[in-house]
Structure 1
């Protein structure tokens, strides 16, 4: 049986992103897929280094129990689902801080560094799904704003930690979207076939 880590990054429980989370959870339960939910805001995750955390970075250590729990979930999962809004053409600061703090350098952690670059250790994560919402239409984000979620977050950041494949699903134009469009999107998420 597959095990999945869900990373959820939104502070407001009445947001559309939260409805996407509920649809993903319903999908996992319907498929009897085991999952760990990392709700960054609800957990009170501190998305920045203090001096002690930074001192421990190169040894792969941490003094933040959430970092340890999050890293353990990633190491014992077959796949990843990230649910986040797109803010200012990229992921929110909370999610960037998650990457900064949880992705630990060292053998058996998330990556190693050599003279030829970063080499991912989380090869157990066979597929990542990044489910986003954006104010800009998806086509505009792809063609005019640099397509940062696909080009940077999926194809660079996630690949550098070892994720083999990535799928991006976005509901663009969220601010002006109709109720019908939002409901169709939630139906799509509930019935998606996540493969890991």
Structure 2
């Protein structure tokens, strides 16, 4: 199994970064994972801004030469792992910009005249690992699970990724937030991951 980790947090001293380390360490001990690549959006200074004009048309996004390496990463991976904080009830703008630019028609999906498009990333699975300051159940009761609906239905299932696992951790700025236990859960998941 080939794993692409898309990491989105500007601070390498953050809990998000600690979760990234747990994914990597857990994957190292898993013989079913053959290779892991990490795309650190902030470290790479990924440009999340969509630009359309007479020379850069929306219908040509799927072949933008500037993004070819990133398209190859997405095609290469069997499992996509997104690691990010929840800010204002949703992933950071940097990650949303990556999604806007990368999951383009002609690459991630194809319209074919039916109600829903054909997802072109079929056969892949995904894991979303997110942390937030508020309580774990805050998104469910206050925001009607908007974050999970965005990631699972509006994005991943739309492009053909059917199997999506969530680790959504709350109270992460609280000293009693059980950080070690939550980090261990992620480590154990990746160490035992079968597919």
Q: Normalized against structure 2, the TM-score is what?
A: 0.89
2:138 paired with 1:137: no
Cα RMSD over matched residues? 1.8
Which residue of the partner structure matches residue 187 of structure 2?
190
Distance in 2, matches of 1:189 and 1:85, equals 15
Q: Structure 1 residues 162-171 or 146-155, which shifts more?
A: 146-155
Q: Distance in 2 between matches of 1:96 and 1:82?
A: 11
Structure 2: which 5+ runs fail to align? none
Q: Is the 8 A contact 2:139 2:147 kept in 1?
A: no
How does 1:47-66 map onto structure 2 within 5 Å?
A: 47-51=48-52, 55-59=56-60, 60-64=62-66
**Are residues 1:39 and 2:36 paired?**
no
Partner residue in 1 for 2:78:
78
Provide the rounded CA distance (Å) in 1 between the counterparts of 2:15 and 2:2.
Answer: 25
Matches within 5 A, 1:90-109: 90-106=90-106, 109=107
CA distance 1:45–1:52, shift in 2 (3 Å): farther
Corresponding residue of 2:5: 6
Structure 1 distance, partners of 2:54, 2:146, is 28
Q: Say whether the 8 Å CA contact 2:52–2:58 is kept in structure 1.
A: no
Q: How many positions carry a matched residue from both structures? A: 189
Structure 1 stretches of 4+ with a deviation exceeding 6 A read: none
Matches within 5 A, 1:106-117: 106=106, 109-115=107-113, 116-117=115-116
The verdict on how the C-alpha distance between 1:145 and 1:129 changes in structure 2, with shifts beyond 3 A counting, is same
Structure 1: gaps (5+ residues):
none
Q: Are the aligned partners of 2:19 and 2:83 in contact in 1 as well (CA < 8 Å)?
A: yes
Question: Secondary structure of the residue that 1:138 maps to in structure 2?
Answer: coil
Indicate the SS of the match to 2:173: helix
Distance 1:63 1:99, change over 3 A: same
8 Å Cα contact 1:53/1:63 also seen in 2: no
C-alpha displacement of 1:53: 10
Structure 1 residues 119-139: Cα deviation after superposition (integer angstroms, max 9, x where no partner)? 2100131x2110000112111
CA distance in 2, matches of 1:6, 1:53: 34
Q: Does 1 or 2 have the higher relative contact order (CA < 8 Å, sep 6+)?
A: 2
CA–CA distance in 2 between the matches of 1:53 and 1:146? 40
Contact 2:84/2:131 (<8 A) preserved? yes
Distance 1:58 1:14 in 2: 39
Q: TM-score, normalised by structure 1?
A: 0.89
